[in-house]
Amino acid sequence: MGAADPPAWIVLGRSGDDVVAAGLDATGRETDRRRIAASGFAEWIAGEESSSSPRWVWNDTPQWYGGLLDHGVRVARCHDLRLSHAILRGSALVQPDAAVRGSVGWDAVPYVEPDALAPVLFDLEDSGPSAGTPSDVDSALAEFARQRLAIADSSDPGRLRLLIAAESAGALIAVEMRAAGLPWDAAEHDRILTEMLGGRRSGGGQPELLAAAAARVRAALGDPAASLDSQPKLLRALHRVGVLVESTSRWELAEQRHPVIEPLLEYKKLSRLLSANGWSWLDEWVQDGRFRPVFVPGGVVTGRWASSGGGALQLPRQLREAVRADPGWRLVVADVAQLEPRVLAAMSGDHALAGAARGRDLYAGIVDSGAVATRQEAKIALLGAMYGATTGESGRLVPRLRRAYPRAMGLVDDAARIGEDGGLVSTWLGRTSPPPSAEWSVAQSRATEAEASGADETRARRWARDRGRFTRNFVVQGTAAEWALAWMADLRARLSAVEPVPAARAAHRSGPVFERRAHLAFFLHDEVIVHAPAEHAESAAQAVTDAAATAGRILFGDFPIDFPLDVRVAGTALKD
DNA sequence: TGTATCGGCGCG
DNA sequence: AAAGCGCGCCGATACA
């Protein structure tokens, strides 16, 4: 690429064993095309990154970026065509007849093998037909052109550009976090398991304390052979001793008074720990002091991330003690207090709710405003408003919030009504809810016909309300996910600007790009964990805080809304 | 023997 | 405590 005219974008595609790179100028015109052998690809990327710092355009971030990281090459920016396509083709901000909605091949979801970060690019012998999106450069160029046109012609190009930049940054971060891994102390995990479950038995027997709990349950049931892991059998055994529950769920059991309840709840708790995060999980998912889950950006319709394998987003808090910084390193653990209601206040322009949100505790602010009497009531009412509660204490309290915060409540009530009517709702930056299914629409129209039965009408009404609760929550959950992406993207940029520590201080299990620098190690909706050299931990914590403020401004401009964080610097991620 | 579904529960 | 949203994973069960 000519130094006099550095490319704004470089679009990458594969051709046989080679990579084809097309440079585009700021207007999107192709100015340069070259073919690069896979063996020299990482080095070439590193050179372009340092000389012209383009935005890399590729079909699917994990396929390209995992291998680059393995070779010690980090990039600052990308445009993930697959994720961007998913946003644009569904967005209500995009023109109905935009060409991007009809792109062939870009709806496929590629199968990403959890153990193979970059199977295609650097191990061409093993490259299979697994890629879900077109991988040649001409397909990528054509799709990129359709996407830029769709954005430019949309009702709000600025928001969509932000969303796609944030989504693509998230794609980079997800691959980076897997490469870096979450520092995990297997010995500490084993200690927790042994303390709670008792010693591990050879020969597949239950650990001591789990077996003891089981024995106490069977004694209380008066049945030495009672099956505790089969829901129907357990239910019948409970009925036989007079515990007349309809399910064996924890909350329903907890309402009962019977000697079997306490040991049964204990058994369920321990059994869950063993099956979900016991020694088998440890053996399978923690290698060389790192837990490396697969993060799936955009994996949830709202834009939240999902995960695949290892249950990364469901780590029980009791295991947080096993998250341990390397020697000489620290963990910066940060989470946003009440992210979703703050986002709701900002996107609805509700100054009253934003006022209640000023400071650390939004719920206390609601109490101070006089809308409800206690913090607990404030929490229940607000969650009920965002989730669509209609019954119980929550349903009873929501009307009081409607009076106190009409704009915020009006926004979620409108979203619910639109959803019930079969319409679409969008997040702040333009991610749009999926349309109702054909089955849903058929049920609605059938219910309006003269010969509709009562059952038809009841079912249609229930499905309409279900969808209303979904769209009600979609706008809030999805916008919160956008805030979190903006937070992480800005944080990533700040961390990358810090000088690396000397090689002697490296974290040798974090991969070449991260072993000498503070880096993101974990993300969970409204919380991040940064693994940082001890001498950089305080500046990393400041970066986390500053990035949160930036994210608020990026999304909501000057609207006066706080996003206060709980930030801790420690050797372990255990929540105090 | 393998696949789909369900109840249950972990996380936000 | 659940309630009202969104997930992934487990073991058991039903079914091909």
Domain residue ranges of chain A, discontinuous segments joined by +: 9-155, 188-282, 291-337+481-570, 340-479
- Whether residue A252 contacts residue A265, with contact meaning beta carbons closer than 8 Å, is answered with no
Nearest residue to nucleotide B7, by CA–C1' distance, is A231
Rounded CA-CA distance A283/A302 in Å is: 33
| Distances, alpha carbon A31 to alpha carbons A21, A25, A50, A530, in Å | 11, 7, 19, 40
Rounded CA-CA distance A64/A12 in Å is: 9
Is the pLDDT assigned to residue A389 strictly greater than 60?
yes
The band of A309, judged by pLDDT with boundaries at 50, 70 and 90, is confident
Place of tokens 């008792």: A198
Can you tell me whether residue A289 is helix, strand or coil?
coil
Which of chain C's bases lie under 7 Å from a protein CB?
1-14
> For strand B, is any atom closer than 7 Å to the CB of A376?
no
Residues shown for chain A:
576
Rounded CA-CA distance A493/A401 in Å is: 39
pLDDT per residue as tens digits for the range A46-64: 999 999 999 999 999 999 9
Chain A 495-554 contacts with nucleic strand B (CB below 7 A): 524-527
| pLDDT at site A203 | 74
CATH class, A291-337+481-570 region: alpha beta
Give me the mean pLDDT over the A460-465 stretch.
94
> For strand B, is any atom closer than 7 Å to the CB of A314?
yes
Among A300, A259, A61, CA closest to A178: A61
H or E stretch covering A236: helix A231-240
Round and report the angstrom distance from CA (A384) to C1' (B10).
Answer: 22
| pLDDT at site A106 | 92
| Distances, alpha carbon A552 to alpha carbons A346, A484, A563, in Å | 9, 10, 7
> For strand B, is any atom closer than 7 Å to the CB of A484?
no
Give me the mean pLDDT over the A309-316 stretch.
93
> For strand C, is any atom closer than 7 Å to the CB of A434?
no
Among A185, A193, A184, A188, CA closest to A275: A193
Average pLDDT along chain A: 93
Share of chain A above pLDDT 90, in %: 88
A34-43 in b/e form (b: 16+ CB < 10 A) is: eebebeebbe
Rounded CA-CA distance A108/A505 in Å is: 43
> For strand C, is any atom closer than 7 Å to the CB of A299?
yes
Structure-token pair, residue A241: 């001793």
The band of A328, judged by pLDDT with boundaries at 50, 70 and 90, is very high
Round and report the angstrom distance from CA (A232) to C1' (C12).
Answer: 9
Which sign does the torsion angle of CA A178, A183, A187, A190 carry?
A: negative
- The CATH architecture that domain A188-282 belongs to is Up-down Bundle (1.20)
| Distances, alpha carbon A456 to alpha carbons A435, A443, A452, in Å | 21, 7, 6
Pick the CATH number of A340-479 from 1.10.150, 3.30.70, 1.10.3470, 1.20.120: 1.10.150
Give me the mean pLDDT over the A498-516 stretch.
92
The band of A130, judged by pLDDT with boundaries at 50, 70 and 90, is very low
